[in-house]
Copies of this chain bind each other. A is one copy, B any other.
Amino acid sequence: MKAADPIIAFGSSPHARVRPLPLSAVRLGDGFWSARQRAIHENGLWHGLEQLRKTGSVEAFDIAAGLSSAEARGLVYRDSDLYKWLEAASYALGSRACEELRPDVDSIIEKIEGTQDSDGYLNTWFVGERKKDRFTNLESDHEIYCAGHLIQAAIAHHRATGQRRLLIVAERLASHLYEQFGPDGRFATGGHPCAEMALAELYRETGNRRWLTLSQRFLDARGQDPPVLGGKEYLLDHLPVREQRAAAGHAVRALYLYAGAADIYLETGEDTLLDSLTTLWEDVQTGKTYITGGVGARHEGEAFGERYELPNARAYAETCAATASVMWNWRMFAITADAKYIDVIENALYNSFLSGVSLDGTRYFYVNPLECDASHERRPWFDCACCPPNIYRTICSVHGLFFATDDDGVFVNLYDNVQLRHSEFALRMTTRYPWDGDVSLEVQSEGEFELRLRIPRWCGAAVVETPEGRREAQPGAFHRVRRAWRNGDRVLLRMQMPALRVAANPRIRENRNAAAFIRGPIVYCFESAGNPGVPVRDACVNAGAHVAHDWRPDLLSGVEALTTEGRVPRSCFSAQSAYFGPEQAVESDRAVRLTAVPYFARANREPGEMIVWMPIAEK
């Protein structure tokens, strides 16, 4: 076991209120997330490598190193896709899950080593004739972004394997960036944030403060006058980060930037930065987040919309944006120890993020609408292939989000069948979560500390049973149990988990007089599959109808399904016209029984329509 391999090593950051646990301290037992990891370990990573090979991302390194004379293929940021795959594969190796991948990992690292220039520069796009274009188009050339992803992969690889070889490459590249953009270089930054996070983490990994300085310079270079990125909102260059108050621009870029700013705060404690981050976070939560945790409503510019601009069928809600939301909120939790950030992580993970990947791990969604027709199908890969490897690295490291500690105790953030062993401390969690709200925790070590159980905001009521007795727990916060624990002590958390109908703020126009269905952290949707003969996008749910749930072991690898009563109104089919005359009634036609399945599990059966927010039938 490595001494420390957390996802993000803020354990010694002066402005962190919590410490992360090493990935290797947490072992997922058979349960919800182990099934997701298995799909990625056994299928996704292999499928991804095949696609990266097929589309030229691997070959690009051979070409750049002069080992192949083929024509390079792919887009300007293709290197980053391979780096993210490498990061995910490193987590898998660290989990002792994919030992068979090691030769591929080693071979790819060798290719990367062979591609690096003597001055440290590394990017397969800017070789040969394009060498003269290095760092000439910072708005769109993604060189600094790709460097960021290499650094993240190198850190993950080092932590997982103990090997320094990729980290050496990363530090050489970071040195080159420092020469170009450090205190004695240009005051500029790249169009797509990422290096801010990566360099802050490289500082944590190596102790070399130059990397933190460079991270800060990249952050500070945005929003200057004159601007270095054309002042474009799309590139988050419309205002200095410290003056940004409303989430705007390209959602993934924005969230990567906020995550980088949070990393810098963790090291510097600069209040202005935290003020901005807190305000931006409130803004994202207030009418810029789908009920699925999806963010970035607009196709145009892949951007945040205005407040309450959350169209369902035209939702963008890129899988990468949900990933980025997890990254940012994990850092905000590190800063504050506030359960609300884990609420956002849980919401994104189980819904908008996880919807990005099929149950078997090999088919993906780039955008995650909340309503669609049969043409919206998963695909094996994308020309712009950012999402699949982001899925891999997030799922392969998800167990790193389950716990955190401080001097007084341990935070239990997420629930699943998990065994935690760290130094002298051990804890075993047993649950059917997210399908059931009962969680049993067994302390397997001795000592006085505080156990903090996150009571999710979706939870109406919860009780905690400890050796001292039974207490009610407040949703939206950590429930704290302090005692001198003895080996074998048990705590039982019982969260009520009824199937619920949810209403939206009326400013979200499309959802007016419509209901969404949730149970626990899971958002549900209605698909054509499982509702034979029902045109689900035309159906309504009855106003007062009961919502039942039942476990279906054979459905979609095992899910709780919801059922309720609804109707299919007649007029949807008789009228092609867009507008009806005055006071024209919509007559009820036939009653239907409606079945909903978890949103993340959609599009794993035959193609069809899907809808999350279903209209409520007039009485």
Q: Is the Cβ of B300 less than 8 Å from the Cβ of A309? A: no
A231 to chain B, nearest CB (A): 15
Q: Is the Cβ of A507 less than 8 Å from the Cβ of B572? A: yes
Most chain-B CB neighbours within 10 Å: which of A310, A538, A576? A576
Most chain-B CB neighbours within 10 Å: which of A285, A509, A538, A615? A509
Q: Is the Cβ of B512 less than 8 Å from the Cβ of A615? A: yes
Supposing A299-B300, A510-B510, A615-B512 touch, asked if A580 and B502 sit within 8 A by C-beta, the answer is yes
Chain B residues with Cβ below 8 Å from A217 are: none
Supposing A512-B615, A576-B286 touch, asked if A584 and B503 sit within 8 A by C-beta, the answer is yes
Closest to A311 in B: B311
Chain B residues with Cβ below 8 Å from A312 are: 509
Q: Is the Cβ of B577 less than 8 Å from the Cβ of A286? A: yes
26 chain-A/chain-B pairs, Cβ below 8 angstroms? A285-B577, A286-B577, A289-B578, A291-B579, A298-B314, A300-B300, A308-B578, A309-B314, A313-B509, A460-B581, A500-B581, A501-B582, A502-B580, A502-B582, A503-B579, A503-B584, A504-B578, A504-B579, A505-B580, A506-B571, A507-B537, A507-B538, A509-B510, A510-B512, A513-B513, A516-B579
* Supplied contacts A298-B299, A298-B300, 17 more A-B pairs, CB within 8 Å: A287-B578, A306-B313, A308-B578, A371-B509, A501-B583, A502-B579, A505-B572, A505-B575, A505-B580, A506-B538, A506-B569, A506-B572, A507-B538, A507-B572, A508-B578, A510-B510, A512-B615
Chain B residues with Cβ below 8 Å from A286 are: 576-578
Residue among B308, B311, B501, B580 making CB contact with A504, cutoff 8 Å = B580
Chain B residues with Cβ below 8 Å from A581 are: 460, 500, 502
Chain B residues with Cβ below 8 Å from A513 are: 512-513, 615
Q: Is the Cβ of A506 less than 8 Å from the Cβ of B615? A: yes
Cα–Cα, bound, A508→B512 (Å): 12
Interface SS of chain A: helix, strand, loop or mixed?
loop
Q: Mark A280-314, 1 if CB is under 8 A from B, else 0.
A: 00000111010100000011100001101111111
Chain B residues with Cβ below 8 Å from A501 are: 582-583
Residue among B291, B500, B508, B576 making CB contact with A582, cutoff 8 Å = B500
Chain B residues with Cβ below 8 Å from A291 are: 578-579
Q: Is the Cβ of A586 less than 8 Å from the Cβ of B313? A: no
Binding site for B on A (CB under 8 A): 285-287, 289, 291, 298-300, 305-306, 308-314, 371, 373, 460, 500-510, 512-514, 516, 537-538, 569, 571-572, 575-584, 586, 615
A496 to chain B, nearest CB (A): 12
Cα–Cα, bound, A150→B314 (Å): 38
Cα–Cα, bound, A516→B501 (Å): 28
Most chain-B CB neighbours within 10 Å: which of A373, A504, A578? A578
A123 to chain B, nearest CB (A): 28
Residue among B285, B311, B373, B500 making CB contact with A314, cutoff 8 Å = B311
A395 to chain B, nearest CB (A): 26
A20 to chain B, nearest CB (A): 29
Most chain-B CB neighbours within 10 Å: which of A291, A371, A510, A514? A510
A248 to chain B, nearest CB (A): 13
A517 to chain B, nearest CB (A): 10
Cα–Cα, bound, A285→B583 (Å): 21
Per CB-CB distance, the 4 closest pairs between chain A and chain B, nearest first, are A509-B510, A300-B300, A513-B513, A500-B582
